[in-house]
Structure 1
Amino acid sequence: MLDFLENHDIPIKDCRGQSYDNSSSMSGKYAGLSAKIKEKCEFATFVPCAGHFLNMVDAHAAGCVSEAISYFQMVQKLYNFFSSSTHPWNTLIEHSGSKKVLKCLSQTRWPARADAVSALHEGHKQIIEALMSIAEDAEQPRETRHKPLGLSRKMGNPEFIILTEI
Structure 2
Amino acid sequence: MANSCDKASELFAVIQRIYSIFASSPQRWKILQDNISNLTLKSLSQTRWESRVESVKAIRFQAPQLRKALLQLSKNCGDHKIKSEAKCLATYELSNYEFLLGMIIWYDVLFAINIVSKSLQSYDMCIDDTIDQLNGLLCFFQEYRENGFEKALDCAKDLALEMNVKPKFHEKRIIKRNSRYDENVANETIKTPIQLFKTDYFLYVVDKAITSLKSRFEQFNEFKNIFGFLFSMEKLKSFDENTLKKHCLNLEKSLKHDDSLDIDGLDLFHELKLLRHILHLERDTIINILNYIKKFSFFFPNAYVAYRIMLTIPVTVASAERSFSKLKLLKNYLRSTMSQERLNGLAILSIEKQLVKEIDYEIFIKEFASKNARKVNFMS
Q: TM-score, normalised by structure 1?
A: 0.59
Query: Match for 2:55 among 90, 97, 116?
Result: 116
Cα distance, 1:122 vs structure 2: 1.5
Cα distance, 1:127 vs structure 2: 0.7
1:89 equivalent in alignment to 2:29: yes
Cα distance, 1:136 vs structure 2: 1.4
* Amino acid aligned to 2:59: L
1:64 equivalent in alignment to 2:10: no
Distance in structure 1 (CA, Å) of the matches to 2:79 and 2:19: 20
- In the other structure, the counterpart of 1:143 is 81
1:77 equivalent in alignment to 2:17: yes
* Amino acid aligned to 1:81: I
- In the other structure, the counterpart of 2:228 is none
Q: Could you give the per-residue CA deviations for residues 132-160 of structure 1, whole angstroms, max 9, x where no partner exists?
A: 001112x6232232110011121111111
The answer to whether the Cα contact below 8 Å between 2:21 and 2:82 also exists between their aligned partners in 1 is no
- In the other structure, the counterpart of 1:7 is none
Distance in structure 1 (CA, Å) of the matches to 2:44 and 2:79: 28
1:152 equivalent in alignment to 2:105: no
- In the other structure, the counterpart of 1:132 is 71
SS in 1 for 2:43: coil
In proportion to residue count, which structure has more helix?
A: 2
SS in 2 for 1:62: coil
Distance in structure 2 (CA, Å) of the matches to 1:85 and 1:118: 22
Distance in structure 2 (CA, Å) of the matches to 1:109 and 1:159: 26
Q: Could you give the per-residue CA deviations for residues 75-108 of structure 1, whole angstroms, max 9, x where no partner exists?
A: 00101111010111110011002x2011001112
Q: Could you give the per-residue CA deviations for residues 109-131 of structure 1, whole angstroms, max 9, x where no partner exists?
A: 22110010001112111110100
* Amino acid aligned to 2:43: C
SS in 2 for 1:136: helix
- In the other structure, the counterpart of 1:106 is 45
SS in 1 for 2:68: helix
Q: Could you give the per-residue CA deviations for residues 14-50 of structure 1, whole angstroms, max 9, x where no partner exists?
A: xxxxxxxxxxxxxxxxxxxxxxxxxxxxxxxxxxxxx
* Amino acid aligned to 1:141: D
Stretches (4+) displaced over 4 A? none
Distance in structure 2 (CA, Å) of the matches to 1:67 and 1:108: 22
The answer to whether the Cα contact below 8 Å between 1:88 and 1:134 also exists between their aligned partners in 2 is yes
SS in 2 for 1:88: helix
The answer to whether the Cα contact below 8 Å between 1:101 and 1:123 also exists between their aligned partners in 2 is no
* Amino acid aligned to 1:65: C
Distance in structure 1 (CA, Å) of the matches to 2:79 and 2:9: 30
Question: Aligned residues: percent identity?
Answer: 28
1:161 equivalent in alignment to 2:81: no
Distance in structure 2 (CA, Å) of the matches to 1:62 and 1:133: 31
Provide structure 1 residue ranges, at least 5 long, that are not aligned to the other structure: 1-60
Q: Indicate the RMSD between aligned Cα atoms, in angstroms.
A: 1.3
Distance in structure 1 (CA, Å) of the matches to 2:18 and 2:68: 13
* Amino acid aligned to 2:25: S
